[in-house]
A and B are shown apart, each in its own frame.
Chain A
Amino acid sequence: MPSPSGSAPERTRLFWFLAKELRELLASRAFWLLLLMIGPLVGHGFITAVDSYAEASGIGGGPAALAQGLSPLDGILVPAFGAYDLAVTLLFPFVAIRLVSAEKASGAWKLMLQAPLSLPAMLLAKGLALVGAWLLAWMPGLLALLLWKAYGGWIYGPELLNLLLGHLLRVILSCGVAVAAAAMANGAASAAIATLGFTVGTWALEFVAAGRGGLLAKLAAYTPTAALRVFEQGELRLATVVVAAALSLAGFALAAVWLATRRTLPSRLARSLAAVLVFAPILWGAAHLRPTWDLSENRRNSFPAADEAALRQIRRPLAVTVYLAPEDPRLMDLDRNILSKLARILPRVDIENASHSSAGLFERAGDHYGEVWYQLDGRRAMSRSTTEPIVLETLYRLAGVEPPPRAAGGEYPGHPLAVRPKGAAPLFYALWPLAVALAAWLHLRDRRRS
């Protein structure tokens, strides 16, 4: 009679648990429904995007936009994969919740708690299965890319990989939240409400932060939607990656605490608090990580190379005082065109928003409203501009750095393409749903007893 300690090796057991989770996913109608719906969703985004891109490229004799403004990242990749943001927000949590809640409701979890595998390893198997399922759901997105290439469209590899990384982190974060909710809630319905509550909460945070700025704005930068937006802009920020990964890990840690039913409620609450205390400083530290990489083909997140070389001569901290209300579009322009780029180049940039007034229609702005003050080594300069060359000139003057000569050429050429999305509608609206429905029927049908 073998003893429990003499059972199968840990790696073999983990493999079997992973197989179980994958089979459980395939036995779930929620997962098949997700697969069924993701095709038309992606297809709609892709078809609309290709049509819009073609019109901007001058199809049918219409006026074409400037070629430099036609980037496949903005025009095709982001809209086509935008369906995944919708799916991961509104559909995927139900798939993830079921993977935990079904075992709790059926009593299977009582067997699993006694199984010869640690709870973290079991949760790892669930997480890996969920990510695997999500990669399967990427098939329509990848088909869209293949179609785009077949049309003669251009894809810049680093941009695409960065965008996929953003969507992957987004789904891992969603897994963490859903698994934690399923572990803590009594049933799947409560877990679903909690998960949707979290999502709506992040939307509310973004909405409020857009009008108030400050700490709320810093927090809102790490909501799932805001984090994904960074990747959609072709930027890879280490802080965003680590914060998203740490938040996901925190969700799984909370799940591990609440799924260990042998502990009393006070013990679980204490351990949850401990998890929060452990992860809070990690998240705070991660949010201050500075390395970023501009992976966009048109270098939209960077100054021109000559300017970056000139700016790197500035080694002292730059203080920026902004008199613009958080909801003022000029602040958004300033942040996107100037401040975020400066933060990537200079060793230290301290930004303070000193505006206490509002840009509302019926409110009087403060005396300094609209001013942006730059301070370096005790010298100060003011500019109201949010335009890159003007602000850079101000900074060069302030720092005593020789401005680089404006080099001609080397600009982003753009990739116009005036084609219609041939074959996309039948593929995404008919073939994909039919294939998924057939596969689901074959898998879920009742088998006869032998």
Chain B
Amino acid sequence: MIAGPASMLLSARGISKHFGRNAVLQDAGFTVRGREILGLIGPNGSGKTTLFECLAGLIPTDSGEVQFRGGACPPVRRKECLFYLPDGIRPWAGQSVAWVLRFFAAIYGRSPEEGAALARALQLEALLSARIGSLSKGEAKRALLALGLLTPHPLLLLDEPFDGLDFRQTREVMALLRTVPAAGRTLFLSIHQLTDAARVCDRLVLLSKGRVVGEGTLPELRARAGLDEGGLEEVFLALT
């Protein structure tokens, strides 16, 4: 299935990025449709985080173009279109979870009730008075997800949203994320666990060594790989 212009939210074409002589992204291009969960799949070091940081306008690209709702979206305006939640960050370690949630809710014009509802949904209520720096990896991930979900942008980029979560928490967060498109937002998730990606994503972008090697639903990718059956792992191995 090819995305039609009506459903296209964001498109990226020819994104390239070098760090010194190392080509991290090479002519990467894909389309994000409205109200979907798109997965960015690739092994460690394939350029997923770099691609997200380029999309968010946090680092400069060597070349490439990003369009949002059919119009040009230069890096300086990206924060109006999308929000990127990085993986492995521990912001404001000395502040309490409650205050950081309140801060995000306030600057993005969300009500305290919305923040409280997210804290409930992500089981953060018992951690509200704890400092960010004292949280475990999984707790910090849930607090960060709450920050990301508090932002009002049409497109939310989450880098490794399940990293650090246990099996039960992963299922619960997946269930929560599945409700997001229904509320009008689009999710673009970077995931290196293929089984997680297959369970939560509507469509997938496969990234290998900085190149997009496939884009579509699992059946579409399977067909492209020339496979009659098999899961995402088989498809990924066949296409890379």
Contacts and interface: CB of A to CB of B under 8 A. Distances in A.
Nearest to B147: A111
Interface residues of B, number: 47
B108 A8 contact: yes
A24 B95 contact: yes
B112 interface: no
B92 A6 contact: no
Chain A interface main SS type: loop
Contacts of B183: 1
B6 to A, nearest CB: 19
B171 interface: no
Interface in A435-450: 444, 446-450
A4 interface: yes
Given A106-B90, A262-B60, A447 B84 contact: no
A116 interface: yes
A24 B91 CA distance: 11
A449 B129 contact: yes
Interface stretch (A9-17, A60-68, A315-323): A9-17
Contacts of A17: 107
B109 interface: yes
A28 interface: yes
Contacts of A5: 80
Contact of A447 (B88, B96, B106, B151): B96
Contacts of B129: 447-450
Interface in A105-121: 106-108, 110-111, 113-117
Interface string A114-145: 11110000000000000000000000000000
Q: How large is the interface on A (under 10, 10 to 19, 20 to 34, 35 or more residues)?
A: 35 or more
Interface stretch (B21-29, B51-59, B160-168, B209-217): B51-59
A20 interface: yes
A2 interface: yes
Interface string B199-225: 000000000000000000000000000
A110 B60 contact: no
A3 B184 CA distance: 11
B108 A4 contact: yes
B86 A28 contact: no
A2 B152 CA distance: 6
A116 B88 contact: no
A1 B184 contact: yes
Contact of A446 (B85, B126, B134): B134
B35 to A, nearest CB: 11
Contact of A24 (B75, B88, B92): B92
B178 interface: no
A422 interface: no
A258 B87 CA distance: 23
A123 to B, nearest CB: 16
B103 A450 contact: no
B60 A264 contact: yes
Contacts of B128: 450
Residue among A16, A19, A113, A114 having the largest count of chain B Cβ atoms under 10 Å = A114
A296 to B, nearest CB: 44
Nearest to B59: A261
Nearest to A260: B76
A312 interface: no
Given A8-B108, A107-B90, A23 B79 contact: no
A447 B85 CA distance: 27
Interface string A201-232: 00000000000000000000000000000000
B92 A117 contact: no
B95 A116 contact: no
A267 B75 CA distance: 14
A117 B104 CA distance: 12
A447 B131 CA distance: 7
Given A6-B109, A12-B106, A28 B94 contact: yes
A261 B57 CA distance: 8
A7 B107 contact: yes
A264 B18 CA distance: 12
B2 interface: no
A106 B76 contact: no
B152 A449 contact: no
Contacts of B75: 262
Given A5-B80, A103-B92, A447-B131, 14 more contacts: A1-B152, A1-B185, A4-B108, A23-B95, A28-B94, A107-B88, A110-B84, A110-B89, A111-B147, A113-B58, A114-B58, A117-B107, A262-B59, A263-B60
29 contacts: A1-B152, A3-B154, A4-B152, A7-B107, A8-B106, A13-B106, A16-B107, A20-B92, A23-B95, A27-B92, A27-B93, A27-B95, A103-B92, A106-B90, A107-B88, A107-B91, A108-B92, A111-B147, A114-B56, A115-B79, A116-B108, A261-B58, A261-B59, A262-B59, A262-B60, A263-B60, A447-B131, A448-B129, A450-B128
Lowest 9 A-B CB distances belong to which pairs? Answer: A107-B89, A27-B94, A108-B91, A7-B109, A8-B109, A114-B79, A2-B152, A264-B60, A1-B184
